Structure 1
Amino acid sequence: MAELRPIAPAFVVPGPSGVAVRDRLKHLTPEDDKLLRLVGAHLGALASADLKTRCADGLGHCAGTWAARKRELTALSSARWAGAITKASHDQWALARRCQARHIGDLEAAITTITRRLSLPVGKKGTRKEPGGYRSALEWFAKSRRLHLLQDRLKRLRADQQAGRVRVVRGGKRLARARHHLEATGLTEAEWRQTWQAERWFLAADGESGKRYGNETIRITPDGQVSIKLPVPLAHHANAPHGRYVLACRVAFAHRRSEWADRIEAKRAVAYRIHLDVTCDRWYITASWQIPAAPAIPMTAAIAAGVIGVDTNADHLAAWHLDTHGNPIGNPRHFPYDLNGNAEHRDAQVRHALTRLLHWARTCGVKAIAVEDLDFAMEKTREKHGRRKRFRQVISGMPTGRLRARLTSMADQMGIAIIAADPAYTSKWGAQHWQARLTSKTRTTTRHDAAAVAIGRRAQGHPIRRRTAPPPAHRSDEQGHRTVQAGPDARGREGPRPRIPGPRTRSVPPGRGAYAGDQNAQHRSERSTEYRQLMLSL
């Protein structure tokens, strides 16, 4: 029997530590649109040059070089714009370093898998945990060539990591590559150029506590007036004192407006980012700020009113309401979403499905939702799953990280806790113990519904296996076997039962007789089958 991996205990996911809200800049005049483009292009060019300098510094970066970069940018913009640009460059370099380390880990895992499979005979069968040898000599030869390619790539990445070199593209590597495949993307060269320039603009300013309305660079008053501190070369475009430009539009954040208003009235830091949606030709502004992380509620309090188990799939969420004892209540619910299309469409689909899930959870009266603690980072490579291309596409398309982050943020506002449970064997054991039992003439239970029950029970601390049925009314076999019983190959199944305190009959208490474990010593009409086979073999 294969050894099962240990099951990690469930835990309550901590709440979000930041907030971001967005609103559209409506009714902009042509002068406003022109000025935003000028400021974005000017600051974007400065950000590109500063990022190049930061990448050239590599591991030799220090506070002195940071201050020197900021002084150079201050003369071309302002002190606050220079601080925002240098901080963004440093954060982007640090992110590239983390991605580089993750890529090295992926390459090492792929090389280990290929090396092991190449050492096995061609055609050798694999197991559930480890793949076997390659199917043919041709595939073995192709993988041996790929092994050398990955080893050379890993060698270059390790050299870059030691030297502090990173590969960063302002505007995105995917959009840069789309320039060579315009027909496949459906863009013309002019449309691509406009999108590329807009992505490389820089119109973001960090907040500063103690300053007026929490931000001196991009300021929004309580009545929604937006003003921007212009860089020094563009100060002649100012239409307000102190080199500021006031936009003709008004901003009214519909979501969390009261929280945002309280922060700016108290002069607490609020960061703003202005960006252009080239497809719709609309300007948007995003406000963000940090919030103290709320302490996670105890597990006992979270599951006191039951939970809702949720199974995450590539196209829907399967959910089932469980009571405090882990019993399914009512019928399962499905919340579908479509992940085809652009990023905004996918994000809207996930948000809509989570909104319906949370509203249903509030209707059920539960205080917790149990989800799987999924991470497919090391599980979707072709070196691990080989020819199972469809399976790799399915797990790659599941929005695990985005879904969990959004669910945690949205549930925090509704007072619902999120419990992360270990995903090991939930689909298999759920189908084994719950799918057939929950299927009736009027309800068809899918494998995903049964997995939702398994996830909810694991989050509550209950075993996934169903409870043992009570003993029959008498000792004959007409009522059949119990739900959970020892298999024919289990050792000790013919032995005595464990000692149960208290008498059960008027005669000898259970487990106390001289021949309690010997079935051949009981008053039976015939000997047991095992005894007869033993006597015939003598």
Structure 2
Amino acid sequence: MAESKKKLRTIDAPFVALGPSGVAIRTSLKHLTDADDKVLRQVGAHLGSLASKDLKRRCADSLEHSTDTWAERKRTLTEESSSRWAGSITRASHDQWALSRRAQLAHIQTLETGVKTIAHRLSLPVGEKGTKRAPGGYRTRQEWFAKTRRLHLLEDRLDAERADREAGVVHVVRGGRKLARNRHNLHAAQLTEAQWRQRWEAERWFLAADGESGKRWGNETIRVTTDGEVSIKLPAPLAHLANARHGRYVLAAKVNFRHRGDEWADRVSANRAVAYRIHQDVQRDRWYLTASWTIQPVRTVPLAQARAGGLIGVDTNADHLAAWRLDRHGNPCGEPRRFSYELDGPAGYRDAQVRHALTRLLHWAHRRGLSIAIEDLDFTTEKTREKHGRRKRFRKLISGMPVARLRARLVSMAAELGITIVAVDPAYTSMWGAEHWQKPLTSKNRKTTRHDAASVAIGRRALGHPIRRRTAPPHDDQSDRRGHRTAQAGPGARGREGTRPRIPGPRTRSVQPDAERKREPSASTTVRDAPDVQVWV
């Protein structure tokens, strides 16, 4: 019996992505004296120990946390620091606990997916082939036996994670779990014990203060003036280290924010809230100051306005962005563009590659005055080893795609240039694009790739058009036999897949039009200002 046709999933409607809600800028603290370095280390270590104790109490409260317990924790910390330092520490502890809860839920969902996949494959005979909808059985008896053991292991982990979530238990490591594990394998991490200890202590320091609107320079704890002077309110046990009035320590370094410096200066001059964080890069042996504040979300334009002049469809890949410009009717214009990047190397290099590719894409869209359509990708459920089995290269491919980072950077960078980002459902864009657009767009002088065709499919979906292209026009002598081409209609138009309605009267040019056609002339077949009706090109 032939296999039934695969049922397509529901495709979500395209939407305009929201802009960023905050800004963060960073600069280095240069020309620090030995006394400044010593004070920063002592303050960071003291507040870091308080933050560790407070995080332990927050995790112990688990789901029984309330405003009363929060206030009690803050009162305890105020005695050893100050009320503002205590507020920053308690807020950071609560945010870290909440982040761990979200990560715990994601881990449970990953384990559930793995258990479900293994159980399904174990239920099938060994060697049975899979389908497009579900994987088949395991290849050998040895692999089948190994997966039975792994199934028991995943089930035990899943039961433990579910029990922890019901009890409100989370596991948090201040300083990072990865760095903590490196302590037990220093050779593989290429670190000595002294180097590891230095990094571990620097990561566990706490030198962050929330801003306060209405206070002088927008922050009473870490204060930065428009002249670049940086001063810190010392905790009570370290007040004897102050070199200024009111228990403050003024650093010898002068800071200058090169990026968004005017915007930052306007905020601090008006005493608006600005949060600061001081941290040390151990590898470079440098101190940095990060300023951040919230902004009003960028007002998004209506979807119809974003589609008005056409847009640029972008297909995200592991090593490049494939883009193609489309007019408002969904027709590809000009030549496809490719913006390449490399993701091999350290994190800073990879991030710079992504930013460089996005910069070129955005400058092209800005010159054309067009919006950008991109897929709303999420590979969270696709990265498990049980999802694709032996396909290690494919798992490595999708794991290496910077989907979340690229999406966040694209939205924030586009907001600065006033470019609208339209997010579309990624379902079937690559498959249908290659089926309907790759061959027609290929010529002797241009070789259209599958990714270029996918960018056309993405752009058409963002414009509200079906991905399937129109059929070729019939020959003049075969119009009666082959039928007529279909019309370009909106996705909600009824009968859009049907043939063009017949106009009354004879079709040959030798016979004069009948009287009915003279009395009721047909409407123009070219519509330019009504996107909701049929469009004939």
TM-score under structure 2 length normalisation: 0.88
C-alpha separation between the residues in 2 aligned to 1:481 and 1:125?
42
1:132-531 equivalence runs, <5 A:
132-366=136-370, 368-475=371-478, 500-505=502-507
Deviations 1:18-61 (A, max 9, x none): 11111111222222122111111111111111111111122222
1:16-55 equivalence runs, <5 A:
16-55=20-59
C-alpha separation between the residues in 1 aligned to 2:313 and 2:362?
12
1:101 and 2:115 correspond: no
1:6-25 equivalence runs, <5 A:
6-25=10-29
Deviations 1:222-254 (A, max 9, x none): 122111111111111111111111111222222
Partner SS state of residue 77, structure 1: coil
**Residue type at the aligned position of 1:313:** N
In the comparison of the two structures, how many residue pairs are matched?
Answer: 496
Partner SS state of residue 474, structure 1: helix
C-alpha separation between the residues in 2 aligned to 1:500 and 1:484?
12
1:77 and 2:86 correspond: no
**Residue type at the aligned position of 1:136:** T
CA-CA distance at 1:501 after TM superposition: 4.4
Cα 1:403–1:476 change in 2 (3 A) is closer
Partner SS state of residue 393, structure 2: helix
**Residue type at the aligned position of 1:125:** K
C-alpha separation between the residues in 2 aligned to 1:131 and 1:403?
31
Deviations 1:435-479 (A, max 9, x none): 22222333222211111111111111122222222232122899x
Stretches of structure 1 lacking an aligned partner (at least 5 in a row): 486-495, 510-538
Deviations 1:65-98 (A, max 9, x none): 2122111111111110111011111111111111
Instruction: Tell me if the contact between 2:486 and 2:499 (Cα under 8 Å) persists in the aligned partners.
Output: no
C-alpha separation between the residues in 2 aligned to 1:249 and 1:362?
39
C-alpha separation between the residues in 2 aligned to 1:476 and 1:234?
91
Partner of 1:532: none
Partner SS state of residue 102, structure 2: helix
CA-CA distance at 1:101 after TM superposition: 1.4
**Residue type at the aligned position of 2:95:** D
C-alpha separation between the residues in 2 aligned to 1:483 and 1:447?
25
Partner of 1:4: 8
- Structure 1 runs of 4+ off > 6 angstroms? 480-485
C-alpha separation between the residues in 1 aligned to 2:455 and 2:143?
39
**Residue type at the aligned position of 2:250:** V
Cα 1:437–1:42 change in 2 (3 A) is same
Q: Which has the larger radius of gyration?
A: 1
C-alpha separation between the residues in 2 aligned to 1:188 and 1:412?
44
C-alpha separation between the residues in 2 aligned to 1:218 and 1:53?
26
**Residue type at the aligned position of 2:267:** R
C-alpha separation between the residues in 1 aligned to 2:485 and 2:190?
59
Partner of 1:524: none
CA-CA distance at 1:398 after TM superposition: 0.7
CA-CA distance at 1:195 after TM superposition: 1.2
Partner SS state of residue 242, structure 1: helix
Instruction: Tell me if the contact between 2:313 and 2:374 (Cα under 8 Å) persists in the aligned partners.
Output: yes
**Residue type at the aligned position of 2:264:** W
C-alpha separation between the residues in 2 aligned to 1:461 and 1:353?
27
**Residue type at the aligned position of 1:282:** R
Deviations 1:157-192 (A, max 9, x none): 111112211100011111111122222222222222
CA-CA distance at 1:404 after TM superposition: 0.5
Partner of 2:521: none
Cα 1:174–1:504 change in 2 (3 A) is farther
C-alpha separation between the residues in 1 aligned to 2:472 and 2:130?
38
RMSD: 2.2
Partner of 1:529: none
Cα 1:476–1:226 change in 2 (3 A) is closer
CA-CA distance at 1:302 after TM superposition: 0.9
Deviations 1:349-368 (A, max 9, x none): 211211111111112221x1
Which segment drifts farther, 339-348 or 224-233?
339-348
Partner of 2:517: none
Deviations 1:355-408 (A, max 9, x none): 111111112221x11110100001121111111111011111111111111110
C-alpha separation between the residues in 2 aligned to 1:227 and 1:211?
15
CA-CA distance at 1:497 after TM superposition: 7.2
C-alpha separation between the residues in 1 aligned to 2:206 and 2:164?
28
Partner SS state of residue 284, structure 1: strand
Cα 1:34–1:483 change in 2 (3 A) is farther
C-alpha separation between the residues in 2 aligned to 1:277 and 1:290?
25
CA-CA distance at 1:422 after TM superposition: 1.0
C-alpha separation between the residues in 2 aligned to 1:439 and 1:188?
57
C-alpha separation between the residues in 2 aligned to 1:148 and 1:381?
17
C-alpha separation between the residues in 1 aligned to 2:309 and 2:28?
40
Partner of 1:521: none
C-alpha separation between the residues in 1 aligned to 2:206 and 2:293?
19
Cα 1:476–1:80 change in 2 (3 A) is closer
Cα 1:498–1:411 change in 2 (3 A) is closer
**Residue type at the aligned position of 1:205:** A
Which segment drifts farther, 400-409 or 261-270?
261-270
Partner SS state of residue 20, structure 1: strand
Which segment drifts farther, 412-421 or 444-453?
444-453
C-alpha separation between the residues in 1 aligned to 2:296 and 2:317?
32
C-alpha separation between the residues in 1 aligned to 2:249 and 2:479?
91
**Residue type at the aligned position of 1:237:** L
